[in-house]
Structure 1
Amino acid sequence: MAPQIERPLSPFMTYRWTLTMAMSIGHRVTGIALYAGTLLLVWWLLAAASGPPAYATFQGFIGSWFGRLILFGYTFALIHHLLGGARHFIWDLGYGFGPNEREWLTRAALIGSISVTVILWIIAFAAGGLR
């Protein structure tokens, strides 16, 4: 009979929790959120093609505090997923695997996604696009 080999447990049970692990999960979550946001985009296109009453309904929803919250979340998911993808692309090229580089890339993606989202919304309000 072959000797019993101890298999490792799930990384979440044995490893120290890191920001890189959380961002990996966040990348997957934002990918799922982008699917939901795409349904919002489809609703907008269908409403625009259906005429003024349908478009007014869409505008009423998206202009509400809840609609804007969803739109803000969609914007964050889009930017966060984009920067997370850039981080993975850098890794695919073979760079950024050292502990310091990995931590720097992770923090840059997180801070960048928050910053870019807020800046985009400030610009949109300043331009009068979100009244």
Structure 2
Amino acid sequence: MASKPYARPLSPHLGIWRWGPHMLVSILHRATGVANSVGLGLLVWWLAAIAGGEDSYATFVDVFTVSGGGLNVIGYVVGIGLTLTVFQHMASGVRHLVLDIGAGYELRKGKMTAMATMVFSPLATIAFWAWLLVGKH
């Protein structure tokens, strides 16, 4: 019998567990999934702008591309941000797929693959946007 009759076990929470890269990647996977869902709203807007005709498409293009001869920061921030979330979510998804088949549960490998997703996503984003911007000139 327990020494305290009403003592209950503590549920694990962030105050008990020590932070590690695997925890961050798990949270990032959920956050990037939400961000990608919001990004789908932009896809719907783009498709609606195409269907709406020349004027509505011109409005969409003005918001997300170079307008007035200057650099439109909003379009690049949104585009680069969504690209980063797609690559992070994809890398984390591949990591989870590997974990689902039963591989990579060793502590060292788990931390290494978590760090690899966080290194891969910015590098892939930089490479993608470099290719995209260099291909225009």
* TM-score exceeds 0.5: yes
Q: 2:69: which partner in 1?
A: none
Given candidates 81, 84, 91, the residue that maps to 2:89 is 81
Given candidates 34, 37, 40, the residue that maps to 2:36 is 34
Q: 1:66: which partner in 2?
A: 74
Structure number with greater Rg is: 2
Structure 2 gaps of 5+ residues are 66-71
Q: 2:131: which partner in 1?
A: 123
Distance apart, 1:109 and its partner CA:
0.8
> Deviations along 1:21-49, whole A, 9 cap, x unmatched?
11111110000001110000111111112
The alignment yields a C-alpha RMSD, in angstroms, of 1.7
Given candidates 99, 119, 128, the residue that maps to 1:91 is 99
Given candidates 37, 48, 51, the residue that maps to 1:49 is 51
Distance apart, 1:5 and its partner CA:
4.7
Matched, 1:25 2:27: yes
Distance apart, 1:125 and its partner CA:
0.2
2:81 corresponds to which letter in structure 1? Answer: G
Aligned length: 129
TM-score (norm 2): 0.87
TM-score (norm 1): 0.91
- Aligned residues: percent identity? 32
* Inter-partner Cα distance in structure 2 for 1:18 and 1:104: 11
Distance apart, 1:54 and its partner CA:
0.9
* Inter-partner Cα distance in structure 1 for 2:10 and 2:128: 44
Q: 1:7: which partner in 2?
A: 9
> Deviations along 1:41-69, whole A, 9 cap, x unmatched?
11111111211111111111111211220
Q: If each structure's helix is expressed as a fraction of its own residues, which one has the higher value?
A: 1
